[in-house]
Chain A
Amino acid sequence: MSDSKNSSLEIILFGYGTTGAKIYEMLSGNFSKITVLDKDEEHIKRAKEDGIVTSSLIDITDDSELEEQRLEGKILFCAMDDMALNIFLALSLRNITEESTILSISTSAENTRKLKFIGVNKVIDIYESSANRIVDIVTRPAVTRVMDEIIYADNGISIEEIEIPPNSFLEGKCIQEINFRDFGLILIGISDKELGEDFIFVSRGINHKFDEGDILVLLGETQALKDFYKKLTGNER
């Protein structure tokens, strides 16, 4: 299921400099529809050389050119090497489209603050995340190992969020009634739309009632996750 979900997502990556190229590399592992835009001819040339057909040269400082790209409903990833340009781009994008998800990289706490103020959905501080990782390796080696296995390593263990479809077998049941371990899964938490976007960790011990539209965050082997998803959607009607 995640394959179908990931293939339906359309991503526009702004910037194919040193940072952008690496981010493309990571993204292309999981997503297929990625468009690369840059205003630097050299960068686009290199993108073409790297085999990215969907790359094109536009002046990203020009709003009309941006609008031509039909940004609505897409995921916009700002990864320009020049931070000032990146912030300017994020601002233009937020201006043009209200709904799209905008991600941006950042290189300092100050830039992160600015980007968040603009309304970027997710700011990733390159250095901060690296520093976090280093500190985690040193202070909590076992946790880091486990997290790596979940997020980075390609060993079949992954974390997935699954939205409960209407009329599933979970409908109306409580957390305690379902033993996720029987499915080989661990339920980490639930995001309930009725209670706002807040994320509820299972370990809090609240006996939540499953509803259609709730998002379950599950951890387990890909096969187990797939089976569970089939069971969940198969019981429709």
Chain B
Amino acid sequence: MRRFFIRQLVAFAYLLESAPRYHRVKRFFNDLLNNDDFRYKKYFDLFMIFVILSSVSILVIDVHKHVAYWLDFYDLYIVTWIFIIEYILRLWVHSDMHKVIITHYEESEFFEKPFSFWKVFKQIAQEKWAYISSPAAIIDLIAILPSYREIRVLRVFVLFRAFKMLRYSRSLLQFFDILRSKKIELYTLFILLSFFTLVASIMIYVFEGNGNNPDIKNMYDAIYWALVTITTVGYGDITPVTTEGRAVAMLVILTGIGAISFLTSIIVSAFSEKLPEIKETRVMNQIAKKRELNLICGYGKIGQLVAKKFKEANRPFLVIESDRQKVEKAEMDGHDALFADATKSSTLLKLKLGKNVRSVICVTHDDIINVFITINARSLCKDVEIIARCSEKSVAKKLRLAGANHIILPEEIAGMLGSVYIGQPVAFEALQAIITQRRTARIDEVEVKLGSFFDGAKVGDFDFYANKLILLALLKRFEGSGKESHFVVFNPPDDTRLKVGDILVIMGYSVSIADFKARMEQSVRFKKQ
């Protein structure tokens, strides 16, 4: 009998382990309940907050006048059942029971020891108990209780439904995290306050509890008075009448002011200590939504200009700076900034380098740091585009070796611009005008899209001149190579064949270019039909 039961149990555990559907369902619920990055968790959280708010308001209204029958029904059954189901689901996803059974079974097989029910049960119970005894789970459990109307006291636990909301709101949780960082201080203060309250209440009881003061009949009244006074609340429903009592009151008030200001300062300092962290979380949350992110490492002269220009071009970017003052400056300028060290791999990993980041721009004033950031980024991700600034030619070589795609030598660029200007001032001004897009003439790039009229056509098939455009060059895609790489063909002859993925670099006035792009898009739509 026992043997049969074990075999059934183990077989069932293996069945669960091998069922992809079971895993899928379990993972879905785990994501829904616990994974902040999961898409639908947000909706679940909102739904739960709604359920809680509705239930709490029904209970509050119910205090004075009776609510409609269906509301009562909703609160009594539907809400309670939602809570119970949620509680059971959380208990379920917390750990895998069948895995415990399987490990124990395999162990017992391996060592040829008998399979112990008791051990398995103990371990499962331990794992589940770890969840049940966690504060969040206790609040969940208590929040179910107020539905039991027969015991009125249980209604107090409505409060716990409000507490339950914490689970669904990250910012509220953060508040408790901050307080937790000051646990020792708060604990000390609490002990101190309790001690003073106790001493004060004993003193007032000794002086006035003997009938001098009709309001203080017992120790409970004395403690109540002491607490009200020491917290500087001072209702005034109980006041000391004897000289000794008043003296005690004065002492309690002085202690109280000290204690309260101590408490305030603890909370304030906790917040100011955690403020950068809160900011960081906020920035990270915003950044997490963005794709194609550009990381600007260093907020020096170039970094500032790049950030400004990215903002104008509406490109997502994040400033990373290891100098607190510069981070503040970036924030003042209205950019997202992170106080972090970009030479550390953890910083870049946190920003999901491989997934969300398009380019890493190393523009700190120190060449060595730029090299470090480059190595760091390249070692973590092969595909990310790295642009690095340096001031020495020798460093430029190292940067290439480290894996930078583009190297910026500010002085060299200035010299190059100068020499172009000296040689060909008119051409230079023209190019500058086009590049900086100050005038309406500009250069733009248009990719040949799949199914557009250019797909498979020849360059000569389209009359660029009549459309007031100039085809400067064509970036042809290398055949066969999987990566995005192109080679440049200047002034391509009319019989050049165009393929999907080729990029046309055209010059013209904004209107003409916009028109050209629109036509490209439109032709795609027609071909598809």
Residues of chain A whose beta carbon lies under 8 Å from any beta carbon of chain B: 2, 5-6, 9, 11, 18-19, 22-27, 29-31, 75, 77, 79, 101, 103, 105, 107-108, 122, 124, 126-143, 145-147, 149-152, 157, 159-161, 181, 184-189, 191, 199, 201-205, 215, 217, 219-221
Interface-central residue, B358, B409, B429, B509, by most chain A CB under 10 Å: B429
Supposing A6-B423, A26-B416, A129-B414 touch, asked if A203 and B507 sit within 8 A by C-beta, the answer is yes
C-alpha spacing A129/B408, complex, angstroms: 10
Q: Kindly identify which residue among B411, B412, B491 contacts A219, using a CB–CB cutoff of 8 Å.
A: B491
User: A205 to B468, Cβ gap below 8 A?
Assistant: yes
Supposing A11-B422, A135-B313 touch, asked if A204 and B302 sit within 8 A by C-beta, the answer is no
CB neighbours of B359 from chain A (8 A): 137-138
A180 to chain B, nearest CB (A): 9
Residues of chain B whose beta carbon lies under 8 Å from any beta carbon of chain A: 294, 301-302, 305-306, 309-310, 313, 315, 358-359, 361, 363, 385, 387, 389, 391, 406, 408-427, 429-431, 433, 435-436, 441, 443-445, 468-470, 472-473, 475, 486, 488, 490-491, 503, 505, 507-509, 512
A64 to chain B, nearest CB (A): 27
C-alpha spacing A203/B442, complex, angstroms: 10
C-alpha spacing A236/B305, complex, angstroms: 50
A108 to chain B, nearest CB (A): 7
B282 to chain A, nearest CB (A): 25
User: A181 to B491, Cβ gap below 8 A?
Assistant: yes
C-alpha spacing A108/B505, complex, angstroms: 32
The B interface, classified by DSSP as helix, strand, loop or mixed, is: mixed
Chain A's closest residue to B420 (CB) is A151
CB neighbours of B473 from chain A (8 A): 146, 149
19 A-B contacts (beta carbon < 8 Å): A6-B423, A25-B412, A26-B412, A27-B415, A30-B422, A31-B422, A103-B421, A103-B422, A127-B302, A129-B414, A130-B302, A132-B309, A136-B435, A145-B475, A146-B473, A159-B427, A160-B424, A203-B470, A220-B491
CB neighbours of A5 from chain B (8 A): 423
User: B418 to A26, Cβ gap below 8 A?
Assistant: yes
User: A220 to B490, Cβ gap below 8 A?
Assistant: yes
Which 9 residue pairs spanning A and B have beta carbons closest together? Answer: A26-B415, A131-B305, A22-B411, A142-B445, A23-B415, A203-B508, A130-B410, A127-B301, A135-B309
User: B431 to A135, Cβ gap below 8 A?
Assistant: no
User: A161 to B427, Cβ gap below 8 A?
Assistant: yes
User: B426 to A191, Cβ gap below 8 A?
Assistant: yes
User: B411 to A23, Cβ gap below 8 A?
Assistant: yes
CB neighbours of A215 from chain B (8 A): 426
Chain A's closest residue to B508 (CB) is A203
CB neighbours of A160 from chain B (8 A): 424, 427
